[in-house]
Structure 1
Amino acid sequence: MTKYLISFPGEAMVVPEEEFEAVVETSHAAIEEAKSAGVYVFGGAINDGVEPVLVAGDGTFTEGTYPGHKLPNGGYLILELPSREAALEWAAKIAVACRCSQELREFHYDPVS
């Protein structure tokens, strides 16, 4: 089976304040559905309150990220699915639940991971 990343940038979720709690409930229900289906691997959101650290190839580190790189934000969900078609179906469920477009990406298979 292949792992897929379903994600959105934080600025894509534009929900009126009075509807936000309903979005939280529907998105959590979709995640619970993925868990019940046995396809859930990981999910979460980038903590914008914690600055990134760039760790160099020699092990040294500096505050920040790659020069010119846009900081990732928003929500992420990794599912393990049997096909791209199944991934598209799950991405659609998540998009409806979150009320915002989702980006679907496929992880390259690595036999070690």
Structure 2
Amino acid sequence: MAKYLISFPSAAMVVPEGEWGAVRRDSHAVIDEAKTAGVYVFGGGIDNYVPPILVSADGAVAMGGYPWAPTLDGGFTVLELPSRDEAIAWAARIAKACRCAQELRVFGFDPQS
């Protein structure tokens, strides 16, 4: 079975005021279903209130991420599933719950990690 990364950038979450509670409830319900189904690996979101730091190979530390890369933000879920079609179906459920499109990628899990 492969692991799939289902994610969205923060800017994709355009939710009308007053609907955030329903989004939270619905998205947590889908994650609970994934846990019950035994396909949930992990998930979460980038904390936008804590700025990134860049740690170089020599140990030097600088504020901010890679200056040339787009900002990494938003939420993500990793599920372990037997097929891409099942991953698409779960991504669709998450998209419906979050009220925004989800990007689906195969997650290159390193079993030695």
Write out aligned runs for 1:45-56 (5 A): 45-56=45-56
After TM superposition, what 4+ stretches of structure 1 lie above 4 angstroms from structure 2? none
Looking at structure 2, the residues matched to 46 and 110 of structure 1 have their Cα atoms a distance apart, in angstroms, of 21
State TM-score, norm by structure 1.
0.94
Write out aligned runs for 1:33-112 (5 A): 33-112=33-112
Q: Any stretches of 5+ residues in structure 2 without a counterpart?
A: none
Counterpart secondary structure, 1:77: strand
Give the CA RMSD over aligned residues: 1.2
Aligned residue pairs: how many?
A: 113
Looking at structure 1, the residues matched to 84 and 13 of structure 2 have their Cα atoms a distance apart, in angstroms, of 24
Match of 1:5 in 2: 5
Counterpart secondary structure, 1:89: helix
Match of 1:26 in 2: 26
Cα displacement (A) at 1:111 = 4.1
Identity %: 60
Q: Deviations over 1:6-31 (max 9, x none)?
A: 00111111111111111110000000
State TM-score, norm by structure 2.
0.94
